[in-house]
Amino acid sequence: MKNKKIFILLPDGVGLRNFAFTSFVTIGEKMGWEVVFWNQTPFDLKHLDYKEIKLEGKVRPSTDILKKAKITAELDHFTKKLNDPIYQLYKFPDSKSGLKSRVKSGLVDFLVKTHTSEKGLQRLRKKMKVSERKGSFYANCKKLLEQENPDLILCTNQRPVNAIAPLTAAQDLGIPTASFIFSWDNLPKATMVVETDYYFVWSEHMQKEMITYYPKLRKEQIFVTGSPQFEPHFDKRLLKTREEFFNEYGLDITKEYICFSGDDITTSPNDPEYLNDIAEAVTKLNHEGHKLGVLFRRCPTDFSNRYGNVLRRHSKLIVPIKPKWEKLGGEWNTVLPTQEDVQLQINTIAHSRAVVNVGSSMVFDFSIFNKPCLYLNYIVDQNQVKNWNPQKVYSFVHFRSMPSINSVIWLNSKEEIPSKITEALTKGKDYAIWANSWFKIINTTPPNEASIRIWNKINEL
């Protein structure tokens, strides 16, 4: 019997970790599927021995304007529907420098004002599809699909506007479509740009969110599977011994290390100051008899030099371990993960005692290894970055899923960092248990079987 064929649509690089760097393809092939990546990233998948077809083409400018309007109108709709102003904090101000930007911003504003109802939002979604049908990108996608005739299109990410044309072409040809919701915080942000027949989500919590935000969806369209991104954490073959890892990165075998996990500059503009405070706290603890160091893993898409002064000041204490991502273009979304970085991240976690950051999902990665997370929760300098403080980050909707305040250790001031690090070292496993309770809400269990659950649902389809 002929194998069924699935196209895994990669409109950008964020889906690589879930679907290319896990056992996802191998499991599908064992189930009798021909797996083909429909790849619009600059990343070459052939060196992984995967079948791929390059996806080429550009989104029409009108579609991009409609997308921006849809996101803003949706956030306004959520605000009104749920009587909750938090959704306004998800908005990013448009650039209004230059005539072209002002015209574009004016069009977006007009569309938002006239499409904030549920019916208006549905009109915007239809207009995006209509817009793409007029372009050569859509025509090329449709022609390819007619030639290849896949049984299903699985989009790895619901956010990119360039996924609309290939998915619309598939739907117009009667080919079933599905999308994976990429991140635990995406749905409240109105980042659902694509419309597909089916959706794969991390948890029942996310399934309920989907129905709240998109009431026209039926529960039967939304499959709870978990996220494949956590599966490599359970692969013992990826683990290096403490001696191997320490030798590779010049670490002191007599020290225990705290990992500082950096955020992007928008999420946490004060990260360099926070890193400095952690370094000073660790120095104080070392004077009291501890033997500690700091591992610094920056945000993979942050290529700024903003940490330079801190790293020079604490060069004997902080060891930077650069993420193994590849910069294949000028935009942030052309900075792509690699398989090597999956292993690097896992070993960084395995050989650290705890992680410190501002609101990162690394709390879940560390909880898998029964290790605690410390969330930074104080203002470094009130006048340094206008209208920013960490409390704004923690007010976002996805943090409401936290079942207990003890899911993390809160760093509410610089002065208490030494005592809280000591607490992480002595009671870390207790906090990891609470963090695991949160993880079970966010991601269905067991977390190492997400790929199998996705394929089982695909077979049902």
In the chain, where are the structural domains located?
Answer: 4-59+135-227+447-460, 61-129, 236-442
SS3 assignment, position 351: coil
Let me know if the fold of 4-59+135-227+447-460 is the same as that of 236-442: yes
Distances (CA, A) of 237 to 17, 18, 338: 17, 18, 17
Distances (CA, A) of 215 to 121, 310, 353, 431: 12, 49, 43, 36
Q: Give the domain 236-442 fold.
A: Rossmann fold (3.40.50)
| Over residues 14-40, mean pLDDT | 96
Nearest to 216 by CA among 114, 76, 119: 119
| Over residues 219-242, mean pLDDT | 97
**Mode of pairing for the β-strands spanning 152-155 and 51-54:** unpaired
pLDDT tens digits, one per residue of 388-432: 889 999 999 999 999 999 999 999 999 999 999 999 999 999 999
A 10 A CB-CB count for 292 gives: 18
**Confidence (pLDDT) at 220:** 96
Nearest to 144 by CA among 257, 54, 247: 54
A 10 A CB-CB count for 407 gives: 25
SS3 assignment, position 338: coil
pLDDT tens digits, one per residue of 157-202: 999 999 999 999 999 999 999 999 999 999 999 999 999 999 999 9
Sheet holding 51-54, edge to edge: 51-54, 33-39, 4-10, 152-155, 177-180, 198-201, 222-224
Nearest to 132 by CA among 162, 160, 173, 109: 162
**Mean of all residue pLDDT scores within the chain:** 94
Strand ranges (DSSP E) for 262-298? 292-297
- Residue 349 carries which DSSP code? H
Answer whether residue 93 shows pLDDT above 80. no
pLDDT tens digits, one per residue of 271-302: 999 999 999 999 999 999 999 999 999 999 88
Torsion of CA 161, 5, 337, 397, to 10 degrees: 50
Q: Are 65 and 104 in contact (CB under 8 A)?
A: yes
Distances (CA, A) of 430 to 64, 370, 433: 47, 9, 5
Answer whether residue 334 shows pLDDT above 80. no
- Distance, CA of 118 to CA of 451 (rounded, Å): 34
**Confidence (pLDDT) at 333:** 59
pTM confidence score: 0.94
pLDDT tens digits, one per residue of 49-58: 999 999 999 9
Q: Give the domain 4-59+135-227+447-460 fold.
A: Rossmann fold (3.40.50)
